[in-house]
Structure 1
């Protein structure tokens, strides 16, 4: 598992409703401390002197209640619990609501080398944002060779051997109004144990494409910012392969296949490529069909059921008309 530091947390480039609004107000030498847990801790019990099961390896969050209690401890010259808390290897402490800790608290933090961070966000909102950020940082990940595009709202991962036409297919999809997330290498993260989020491994290069015979192109410059997206959930895998006349391909769609990535199964389609086949239209249709499946409508299964009903009704008619009169 990749390790992160407090400085990595400060350097996160999060915007709008994900921004943490963090700044360091003390203990800068400790910014290299490692964050090893994606959970956070409210140290109210520890400040009162109860250190049993103290989650010292988590980020310590000081809200309005903890900040008010600290003020009371300093005014009564009872800093023993604060001193004891800083004897533990705490990654960092964060004060919400823009609260400023007292002088003696800051002295304890500086002495122990523990970073003190501050945010103007309220505790509840900041906790949710921080949990999302930590969940993203510690999510299991792997990089896969392929192209990730968004087609009719469905994240489609194009896979296949090198030279089979993944980038060319993605380029035509982009020209038809769909969006590119990443070309060549896709970094996949498993969020919450069951959601696969795909993005470019390198944000600077993610929206560039390599087209054989043409070279490197910048999709956002050629087609506009509406043709790109930073990340997208992977909901369908389309594996492109050279047409093999000896292989039996699924022609009805009742035999569903899947591929497991980071413990999550994703629907898989194997699409044979040969001259004359319009692969982008096939992928568009596959994306729309996947949306129908998520809405509870399965075309292949309905077709199969209709055929069975027709056969049953046909047999019933044959039995009725061929039945001899016994009267």
Structure 2
């Protein structure tokens, strides 16, 4: 699992923030947790359970309270806050910065920012973005495609036919998300897959080389990201191994503590793997909606054996 962080410099650029004061760690500081704090309680000298790693945001409520304080008391509020190793303090709504706040930030060498967004909008947008950027992430070897709205990741040994099947599926109108390396992030107990930026939209085909799917097939053939709904694993056909022919039991694999439906597809000459994966995606969607053809067939067989009518 990769440790992630968002640099303050990137955050400032992304949210178009005004820099009122650059702290000593402005170039190196990172946001490493998704929580955002409004330091109203801290201005009342309550620092129990205060996490300095959080981005600090003050809005109209905090500013109105601070206006009612004396200059000395207001300065103390900011001095106490800036004694902690916070990543930055953001003033929302484009509100005026108190002189005491700017002076304290300069003295303690802390980053002071300002946004024109309302406090609620800014905090919600920040938390939403941080939830994506800082989400737990792993990289898996495989091909991720969007097939009829189902995110399907094909895995298997190198050279078994994953990319070739992906190309045929793309030619049938489905969309490529990632080839070779699939980055998976857990967001709200759901896995979201994408491709590393450097290899996005490229597929390697043995005998042909690397192709650019976006240039060759157009924008309809690609997708930036997709939920992961099904893992299909290709393996060489083994005559000594028993393969499930009914599919009554569901199998799962666990990625980042999230269970994902899992199928093993045996590969041998003559099998149309693209068609099989396509049907697997449709069948997985049906099962999610409560329709299981194998269980329905078993129910009918049991009913006939008991002498009942279907």
Shared fold (TM-score, shorter chain, > 0.5): yes
Q: Counterpart in 2 of 1:285? A: 279
Q: Counterpart in 2 of 1:6? A: 8
Q: Describe the superposition over 1:153-193 as per-residue Cα deviations: whole angstroms up to 9, x where unpaired.
A: 0000000000001001001111111111111001111122x
Q: Counterpart in 2 of 1:229? A: 223
- CA shift in 2, pair 1:28/1:88, >3 Å: closer
Give distance in 2, aligned partners of 1:47 and 1:78.
Answer: 9
Q: Describe the superposition over 1:31-66 as per-residue Cα deviations: whole angstroms up to 9, x where unpaired.
A: 222434321111012123333333323111112211
Q: Counterpart in 1 of 2:164? A: 168
CA drift at 1:131 = 1.2
Q: Counterpart in 2 of 1:188? A: 184
- CA shift in 2, pair 1:29/1:233, >3 Å: same
Name whichever of 125-134 and 44-53 sits farther off.
Answer: 44-53
SS of 1:157's equivalent in the other structure is strand
Q: Is contact 2:74–2:100 with CA below 8 Å preserved after alignment?
A: no
**Aligned match for 1:128, one of 115, 124, 131:** 124
TM-score, normalising length: structure 1: 0.87
- CA shift in 2, pair 1:130/1:312, >3 Å: same
| Aligned alpha-carbon RMSD (Å) | 2.0
- CA shift in 2, pair 1:54/1:248, >3 Å: closer
Name whichever of 52-61 and 154-163 sits farther off.
Answer: 52-61
- CA shift in 2, pair 1:78/1:196, >3 Å: closer
**Aligned match for 2:40, one of 26, 37, 44:** 44
CA drift at 1:4 = 4.1
Q: Counterpart in 1 of 2:24? A: 29
Give distance in 1, aligned partners of 2:224 and 2:203.
Answer: 15
Q: Is contact 1:258–1:268 with CA below 8 Å preserved after alignment?
A: yes
Q: Is contact 2:66–2:74 with CA below 8 Å preserved after alignment?
A: no
SS of 2:159's equivalent in the other structure is coil
CA drift at 1:72 = 3.8
Q: Is contact 1:21–1:120 with CA below 8 Å preserved after alignment?
A: no
- Aligned pairs (5 A) from 1:237-252: 237-252=231-246
SS of 2:25's equivalent in the other structure is helix
Q: Describe the superposition over 1:110-166 as per-residue Cα deviations: whole angstroms up to 9, x where unpaired.
A: 221211222222222222221122222322111111010000000000000000010
Q: Is contact 1:21–1:121 with CA below 8 Å preserved after alignment?
A: no
Structure 1: unaligned runs, 5 residues or longer = 13-19, 317-327
Give distance in 2, aligned partners of 1:165 and 1:178.
Answer: 17
- Aligned pairs (5 A) from 1:305-324: 305-313=299-307
- CA shift in 2, pair 1:54/1:259, >3 Å: closer
Give distance in 2, aligned partners of 1:250 and 1:69.
Answer: 68
The structure number with the bigger radius of gyration is 1
1:209 aligns with 2:211: no
Give distance in 1, aligned partners of 2:106 and 2:171.
Answer: 57
CA drift at 1:77 = 6.5
Give distance in 1, aligned partners of 2:45 and 2:234.
Answer: 62
1:118 aligns with 2:114: yes
Structure 2: unaligned runs, 5 residues or longer = none
TM-score, normalising length: structure 2: 0.92
Q: Counterpart in 2 of 1:321? A: none
